[in-house]
A and B are shown apart, each in its own frame.
Chain A
Amino acid sequence: MPEIGRFLARVNWPGFATIVVGFLLWELLLRAGLAQYQNLPPPSAIADGLVEITRNGELVADALHTLRVVLIGWATAVVIGVAAGLILGVSATLRDYSLASIEVLRPMPGIAFAPVALLLFGFSLQMELMVVILPALWPVLVNTMGAVAGVHARLFDVGRTFRLSGAATLRKIMLPAALPGVLVGARLSMTLALVLAVVAEMVGNPAGLGYAVVREQQAMRPDLVFAYVVAIGAMGVALNAALTGAVARLFPAAAGRVREAA
């Protein structure tokens, strides 16, 4: 089984050991009574909680809802962000007009829009998507804009001396040259989208993993609260790994530059 061997060789064993020791300490401190918090469950109880919510199907249902919000929101943010970033990257005039607005809107904590989204859309998927899309837009837009504006002028000279059409210049020079920047933005935006979806579910739409955390907290089940937190973390790791893997497969030349930048 060479594949398992390769996988085992890639695992960061010292890093893994740190995590295991951390959990063991946590478990031992609570069991020995050295640390006592009424609502802090030991890792074993959290593991039992994970088994419970997996068995009764709640975890899968909640995770699927959150995953759907993250993917739709992220994809929308990427499409809008890349399109707007391309236009702003190409046109210095448009950049002059819109950069001030972007710099005002971009640092706004996106979650502040949650009450507005609630007013507009009520407890709904649309409300969640609005909370996700608005802030997740900026990393894509700003990185795409910067990458396009940063394409070396010589490459456009090359396009002209080879008499490329405008469309061919966009497709063969601008997009590939800007691709690493676009991918960095898309990756930042993915992380942000998960955080925003969870918060939107906590304060707004009662569905998904974010709401599940609040629900179990109100039900006085700290073991399940932590179990859902673990599930959210696992989803973040999985999404990041999936995106990194897809980039490495689809754009091998750009993958190295993305890993360095992100």
Chain B
Amino acid sequence: MNGAGPGRSTQAEPDLVFSCRDASVEFARRDGPRRVLDRISLELRRSEFLTVVGPSGTGKTTLLRLLGGLTPSTQGAVHVNGRPIDGPPAGVVIVFQDYSHALLQWRTVGRNVAFGLEGKLPRDAIDARVQDALRLVRLEAHKDDHPWQLSGGMQQRVQIARALALRPAVLLMDEPFGALDAMTKAALQDELLRLRDATGSSIVFVTHDIEEAVYLGDRVAVITGAPGRIGRTVAVDLPKPRDQIVTRELPRFLELRHLLHQAIGQSEHA
């Protein structure tokens, strides 16, 4: 089930951000190595929104950690901007699923957002960037609050602002809206699409929600099985800007949803 990888050479292409070639990840367990990701081949282009969808336990988080340089591949090659990954790459930031653990609870919202900039920019430049990032996620009024004083959706927006303040070329997002209620989730989805248009960042967005994957993505990659494999990759040819009501009622949206359900179902029963 590995036919989705394109056959062309990848090294020299300038708008290629990530490229994985047959990358596998194994973890050492007491009963020997356990393979979590199996021969992943995947590409991310500049300003592309790639969603990765699959059931839980298929290595989605590990795939994101692999791209973010937190987990090394045991076989195969992972390149970022043409160079092999060796630790977290510059300009690539992960937004974690568990925002309450990922935020520095002892810092205010503003100081959380400044976290990645400290020591890299003069103070007034940091203040300006923090202000910009907070405006993008509409949290200017909460700059001096502490994270625990905010709702879950607001805390996740703080984490997104912290990543955006770095002006990253790539955002890696691990089920960032998984723990939120449906209404907050829809609002943050639209906010994220708006942010992508405003910043031009490339995004890899991991989720187990098929509709979310179709709604957000320019392209959807299906990951299934344990160990996780990329099944098929589907281009999402839906008009932009997307709209929570109109887009989700389009026949093409339903077709794509159907297609992805089948792709996941078939691999699960294969």
Contacts and interface: CB of A to CB of B under 8 A. Distances in A.
Interface in B57-114: 68-70, 87-88, 90, 92-94, 96, 98, 101-102, 104-107
Interface in A107-132: none
Contacts of A154: 96, 98, 101-102
A89 B94 CA distance: 26
B94 A163 contact: no
A173 B104 contact: yes
12 contacts: A157-B94, A157-B102, A160-B70, A160-B87, A161-B69, A162-B88, A162-B166, A163-B87, A173-B104, A177-B104, A253-B106, A253-B107
Given A152-B101, A154-B101, A161-B69, 12 more contacts: A155-B102, A157-B102, A161-B88, A162-B116, A163-B87, A163-B88, A172-B118, A176-B104, A176-B107, A177-B106, A253-B105, A253-B146
Interface string B113-139: 001101100000000000000000000
Interface in A162-203: 162-163, 168, 172-173, 176-177, 179
Contacts of A158: 96, 102, 104, 115
Given A155-B101, A157-B94, A162-B115, A254 B106 contact: yes
Contacts of A162: 88, 93, 115-116, 166
A176 B115 CA distance: 13
A158 to B, nearest CB: 5
A153 to B, nearest CB: 8
B52 to A, nearest CB: 18
Please list the 10 inter-chain residue pairs (A to B) with the smallest Cβ-Cβ separation, ordered nearest first. A154-B101, A162-B116, A253-B106, A161-B94, A152-B101, A176-B106, A154-B102, A160-B88, A161-B88, A158-B102
A160 B115 CA distance: 12
A179 B106 contact: yes
Given A154-B96, A154-B98, A173-B104, A168 B119 contact: yes
B72 to A, nearest CB: 12
Nearest to A165: B119
Interface of A: 152, 154-155, 157-158, 160-163, 168, 172-173, 176-177, 179, 253-254
A16 B118 CA distance: 50
Q: Could you say which of A154, A155, A254 has the most chain B C-beta atoms within 10 Å of its C-beta?
A: A154
Interface in B164-181: 166
A161 B88 CA distance: 6
Contacts of B116: 162
Q: Could you say which of A157, A158, A161, A172 has the most chain B C-beta atoms within 10 Å of its C-beta?
A: A161
Nearest to B89: A163
Contact of B93 (A161, A173, A176, A179): A161
Given A152-B101, A168-B119, A253-B146, A163 B90 contact: yes
Contacts of B102: 154-155, 157-158
Nearest to A162: B116
Contacts of A176: 104, 106-107
Contacts of B92: 161
A176 to B, nearest CB: 5
B181 to A, nearest CB: 22
Contacts of A160: 69-70, 87-88
B106 A172 contact: no
Contacts of B101: 152, 154-155
A155 B88 contact: no
Contacts of B93: 161-162
Nearest to A252: B106
A161 B119 contact: no
A57 to B, nearest CB: 46
Nearest to A154: B101
A162 B88 CA distance: 8
Nearest to B146: A253
A253 B166 CA distance: 26
Contacts of A172: 104, 115, 118
Contact of B70 (A152, A155, A161, A253): A161
